[in-house]
Amino acid sequence: MDRYAAVSRVLRFVFFLNLVVAGAKIALGYYTGAISVLSDGFHSLTDTASNVVALAGVRVARQPPDADHPYGHRKFETMASVGILLFLLLVLVQVLWAAGERLMTGGAPTVTALSFGVMGGTFLVNLAVVLYERREGFRLSSEVLLADAHHTQSDLLTSGAVIAALIAVQLGYPVLDPIAAIVVAVFIGHACWEIFEDTSRILADRAVIASDDISEVVRSVPEVVGCHHIRSRGSSDHVFVDLHVWLDPGMRLDEAHRISHVVKDLIMAKYPQIKDAVIHIEPPPAGS
């Protein structure tokens, strides 16, 4: 099974679990009138929507390079992570609106043993999903799985806050129900920021491998006089590198070409995540 097929398999399994969790929370929220539970349910429902976005992104990302996309389609997976971010932002607005409305209108939800049973059960399911998806995300070096795990991890925090609010409501403090919904919004906002940082790093072509580290590998080749203008971009598992290598100006062209391939092979052996390295050969600057 190739990497993209493995990522898709994980997403399909997680989609099913998220759908069950979201359905249970939303049903409980409407049944008991707990705005915190209902908000948490809609938060979980966006997990399923983000899974669909991620599956679509992975399907496109697995396509090989073509004339219009010579660097491949890998960034479509990163764009799927941006889709997850947009879903989270929509939920953030919805949760804050619902919490504000409850604070203004008042009211208290009904809290029963069923409430704690459903919230406790969905908490355990979410915990299993986070551990499984994070493990597979690191194993497969998949940003979309790690981003989705961040999303689901926020469910753990929000569910904990909701359970605490239900206990408070049962003790006679109904105002903590909408306050817990605001806490849910804080956790969602934090998840948004983390996903934004990860995806913007890739889409803005931030350096992936330190230029000094690459320079050290290049300079280990005896025939190399030096190097500069080292650049890297891409994701952690799909990197492109280009650099200028200084060689003896009296070297034959075919020999210089051979050395450039030695340098390229050495770099890619040291960093297997590099998919391609473009090397420009030039004489050393005067006085070097």
Give the CATH number, domain containing residue 218: 3.30.70.1350
- In terms of domains, do 119 and 236 share one? no
For residue 217, the enclosing domain spans 211-282
Q: What angle do CA 12, 8, 152 make, to 5 degrees?
A: 60
Instruction: Provide the whole-model pTM.
Output: 0.65
Q: What's residue 61's pLDDT?
A: 65
In a domain, 287, yes or no: no
Give the CATH number, domain containing residue 85: 1.20.1510.10
pLDDT digits (tens, 9 = 90+) for 143-158: 778 877 877 787 787 7
Q: In what order do the strands lie in the sheet with 226-235?
A: 226-235, 238-246, 274-282
- In terms of domains, do 115 and 242 share one? no
* Cα–Cα dist 47/20, whole Å: 11
- In terms of domains, do 236 and 192 share one? no
In a domain, 228, yes or no: yes
pLDDT digits (tens, 9 = 90+) for 216-239: 999 999 999 989 999 998 877 678
In the chain, what is the straight-line distance between the N-terminal and C-terminal CA atoms, in Å? Answer: 51
Q: Give how many domains the chain has, as a whole number.
A: 2
What tokens were used for 131? 């551990």
Residue 65 has pLDDT above 90, yes or no: no
